Amino acid sequence: MKNYLLLLLVSLSLLGLRPVVWAQAHNPIVHADVPDLSMIRVGKTYYMSSTTMHMSPGVPIMKSTDLVNWKLVSYAYDTLTNVDAMTLANGKSTYGRGSWASSLRYHQGTYYVSTFAQTSGRTHVYFTKNIEKGPWKAVSFRPSMHDHSLFFDDDGRVYMVYGTGKLQLAELTADVSGLKPGTSPQVIIENASAPAGPNLGLPAEGSQLFKVNGKYYLFNITWPKGGMRTVVVHRANKITGPYEGRVALQDLGVAQGGLIDTPDGKWYSYLFRDYGAVGRIPYLVPVQWENGWPVQGSPAGKVPETLPLPANQSLIPGIVNSDEFTRQKGEPALPLVWQWNHNPDNTLWSVTKRPGYLRLTTGRVDTSFVMARNTLTQRTIGPACTGTTALDVSHLKDGDFAGLGVLQRRYGLVGVKASKGGKAIVMVSAESERPVELQRLPLTQDKVYFKIACDFQDRKDVATFFYSLDGKAWQPVGGPLKMAYTLPHFIGYRFSLFNYATQAAGGYADFDYFRIDDHLTK
What CATH number is associated with residue 377?
A: 2.60.120.200
Going by the DSSP 8-state scheme, the letter that residue 311 receives in this structure is P
Residue 324 lies in a domain: no
Residues 261, 185: Cα–Cα separation, whole Å: 30
The mean pLDDT of 264-292, rounded to a whole number, is 98
SS3 13: helix
**226 contact partners, CB below 8 Å, separation of at least 6:** 199
SS3 306: strand
Q: What is the DSSP string of 324-379?
A: -----TTS-SS-TT-EEESS--TTSEESTTTTTSEEEE--SB-SSGGG-S--EEEE
Q: Which pLDDT does position 198 carry in this prediction?
A: 85
Indicate if 298 and 446 belong to the same structural domain.
no
Q: Which pLDDT does position 167 carry in this prediction?
A: 98
Q: Which pLDDT does position 23 carry in this prediction?
A: 75
Percent of the chain with pLDDT over 70: 96
Residues 277, 381: Cα–Cα separation, whole Å: 10
Residues 417, 424: Cα–Cα separation, whole Å: 5
Indicate if 370 and 413 belong to the same structural domain.
yes
Q: Is the peptide bond before 143 cis (omega within 30 degrees of 0)?
A: yes
Cβ-contact 189, 176 below 8 angstroms: no
Q: Which pLDDT does position 245 carry in this prediction?
A: 98
Cβ-contact 336, 74 below 8 angstroms: yes
Indicate if 114 and 216 belong to the same structural domain.
yes
**333 contact partners, CB below 8 Å, separation of at least 6:** 327, 351, 352
Cβ-contact 23, 39 below 8 angstroms: no
Cβ-contact 86, 145 below 8 angstroms: no
Confidence of residue 202 (pLDDT cuts 50, 70, 90): confident
**84 contact partners, CB below 8 Å, separation of at least 6:** 90, 92
Pick from 307, 324, 358: which residue ends a domain? 307
Residue 11 lies in a domain: no
Indicate if 279 and 352 belong to the same structural domain.
no
The mean pLDDT of 331-342, rounded to a whole number, is 98
CA 189 vs CA 163, 218, 233: distances in Å: 10, 10, 12
Residue 319 lies in a domain: no
Residue 206 lies in a domain: yes
Dihedral (CA of 496, 88, 117, 109) sign: negative
Residues 34, 45: Cα–Cα separation, whole Å: 19
Number of residues in the chain = 522
The mean pLDDT of 223-233, rounded to a whole number, is 94
Indicate if 447 and 496 belong to the same structural domain.
yes
Indicate if 301 and 389 belong to the same structural domain.
no
Residue 9 lies in a domain: no
Indicate if 276 and 392 belong to the same structural domain.
no
Q: Which pLDDT does position 406 carry in this prediction?
A: 98
Residue 137 β-bridge partners? 127
Pick from 292, 307, 322: which residue ends a domain? 307
Rg (CA), the chain: 25
Residue 39 lies in a domain: yes
The mean pLDDT of 184-188, rounded to a whole number, is 97
Q: Judge whether residue 7 has pLDDT over 60.
A: no
The mean pLDDT of 36-64, rounded to a whole number, is 98
| pLDDT-wise least confident of 19-23, 53-57, 363-367 | 19-23
- pTM passes above 0.75: yes
Q: Which pLDDT does position 346 carry in this prediction?
A: 98
Closest C-alpha to 255, from 204, 292, 300, 305: 204
Indicate if 343 and 265 belong to the same structural domain.
no
The mean pLDDT of 186-215, rounded to a whole number, is 94
Pick from 290, 307, 324: which residue ends a domain? 307
Residue 13 lies in a domain: no
Going by the DSSP 8-state scheme, the letter that residue 68 receives in this structure is S
Residue 328 lies in a domain: no
CA 105 vs CA 61, 110, 114, 131, 207: distances in Å: 12, 8, 9, 11, 14
The mean pLDDT of 73-78, rounded to a whole number, is 98
> Rounded to 5 degrees, what are φ and ψ at 6?
-65, -45
Confidence of residue 201 (pLDDT cuts 50, 70, 90): confident
Going by the DSSP 8-state scheme, the letter that residue 242 receives in this structure is -
Residues 417, 412: Cα–Cα separation, whole Å: 15
Indicate if 87 and 42 belong to the same structural domain.
yes
Cβ-contact 146, 102 below 8 angstroms: no
What range does the domain containing 374 cover? 339-517
User: How many structural domains comprise the chain?
Assistant: 2
Q: Which pLDDT does position 22 carry in this prediction?
A: 57
SS3 497: strand
Residues 355, 511: Cα–Cα separation, whole Å: 11
Indicate if 74 and 174 belong to the same structural domain.
yes
CA 479 vs CA 73, 400, 411, 438, 516: distances in Å: 37, 22, 13, 7, 21
CATH code, 93: 2.115.10.20
Q: Specify the amino acid at residue 474.
A: W
Mean of all residue pLDDT scores within the chain? 95
**Reduced 3-state DSSP string for 372-401:** CCCCEEEECECCEEEEEEEEECCCCCCCCE
Indicate if 287 and 371 belong to the same structural domain.
no
Closest C-alpha to 112, from 53, 176, 60, 43: 176
Indicate if 400 and 473 belong to the same structural domain.
yes
CA 403 vs CA 24, 284, 406, 438: distances in Å: 40, 37, 11, 15
pLDDT in tens, 87-105: 999 999 999 999 999 999 9
Q: Which pLDDT does position 438 carry in this prediction?
A: 98
pLDDT in tens, 376-432: 999 999 999 999 999 999 999 999 999 999 999 999 999 999 999 999 999 999 999
